[in-house]
Amino acid sequence: MFSRSSGILLHISSLPGKYGIGSLGKEAYRFVDFLSNARQKLWQVLPLCPMSSENCPYIGLSAFAGNHTFIDMDILIEEGLLKKSDTEDISFHADSVNYSLVNTVKLQLLKKSYANFISNKNLTGTEYKSFCSRNVFWLDDYSLFMALRAHNNGPWHKWEKELKLRNKIAVKKAAKDLEYEIGFHKYLQFVFFKQWTTLKKYANKKGIKIIGDNPIYVSYESCDVWTNPELFLLNKELKPIKVSGVPPDYFSKTGQLWGHPLYNWKKHKSTGFEWWVKNMRFTYKTIDILRIDHFIGFVNYWAVPFGNKTALNGKWEKAPGSDLFKRLKEELGNIPVIAEDLGNKTSGVEKLMKKMNFPGMKLLQEGIKGGKNHPFAPQNFDTTNYVVYTSTHDSDTVKGWFNLLNPSYKKIVLQYLRCDENGVVKEMIRQAWDSVAVFAIAQMQDILESGSEARMNIPGKKSGNWQWRMKEDYSDKVDVSWLSEITKLYDR
pLDDT (tens digit per residue) in 80-101:
999 999 998 887 877 899 999 9
- Of the residues 72, 224, 293, 427, only one is catalytic, namely 293
Nearest to 44 by CA among 156, 212, 195: 212
- Of the residues 86, 394, 434, 472, only one is catalytic, namely 394
Q: Is the pLDDT of residue 439 over 80?
A: yes
Q: Tens digits of per-residue pLDDT, 292-349?
A: 999 999 999 999 999 999 999 999 999 999 999 999 999 999 999 999 998 777 789 9
- Taken in order 455, 459, 461, 466, the sign of the CA dihedral is positive
Contact status, residue 399 vs residue 449, Cβ threshold 8 Å: yes
Establish whether 340 is a catalytic residue. yes
Contact status, residue 288 vs residue 209, Cβ threshold 8 Å: yes
Q: Report the C-alpha gap between 488 and 485 in whole angstroms.
A: 5
For the chain, list the domains and their CATH numbers: 1-212 (3.20.20.80)
pTM reported for the whole predicted model: 0.96
The amino acid present at 179, given as its one-letter code, is E
CA atoms within 13 A on the CB side of 141: 18
- Taken in order 373, 375, 377, 381, the sign of the CA dihedral is positive
Contact status, residue 431 vs residue 441, Cβ threshold 8 Å: no
Establish whether 293 is a catalytic residue. yes
The pairs formed by 420-427 with CB atoms below 8 angstroms and a separation of 24 or more are 424/398, 424/399, 425/390, 425/398, 425/399, 425/449, 426/479, 426/482
Q: Is the pLDDT of residue 246 over 80?
A: yes
**Cβ neighbours of residue 456 closer than 8 Å, sequence gap 6 or more:** 11, 14, 393, 394, 443, 445, 465, 466, 468
Q: Is the pLDDT of residue 391 over 90?
A: yes
* pLDDT band (50, 70, 90) for residue 124: low
Whole-number pLDDT of residue 200: 98
Return the number of other C-beta atoms located less than 10 Å from residue 229's C-beta: 18
* pLDDT band (50, 70, 90) for residue 252: confident
Residues in the chain: 492
Whole-number pLDDT of residue 122: 63
Mean pLDDT of the chain: 95
* Residues forming a β-bridge with 302: 316
Whole-number pLDDT of residue 123: 65
Contact status, residue 231 vs residue 275, Cβ threshold 8 Å: yes
What is the arithmetic mean of pLDDT over 395-419?
96
* pLDDT band (50, 70, 90) for residue 371: confident
* pLDDT band (50, 70, 90) for residue 416: very high
Q: How do strand 315-318 and strand 300-305 relate by DSSP bridges?
A: antiparallel
Q: Report the C-alpha gap between 13 and 456 in whole angstroms.
A: 11
Residue 257 or residue 251, greater confidence? 257
- Of the residues 181, 213, 221, 340, only one is catalytic, namely 340
Establish whether 394 is a catalytic residue. yes
Q: Is the pLDDT of residue 48 over 70?
A: yes
Nearest to 68 by CA among 125, 21, 31: 21
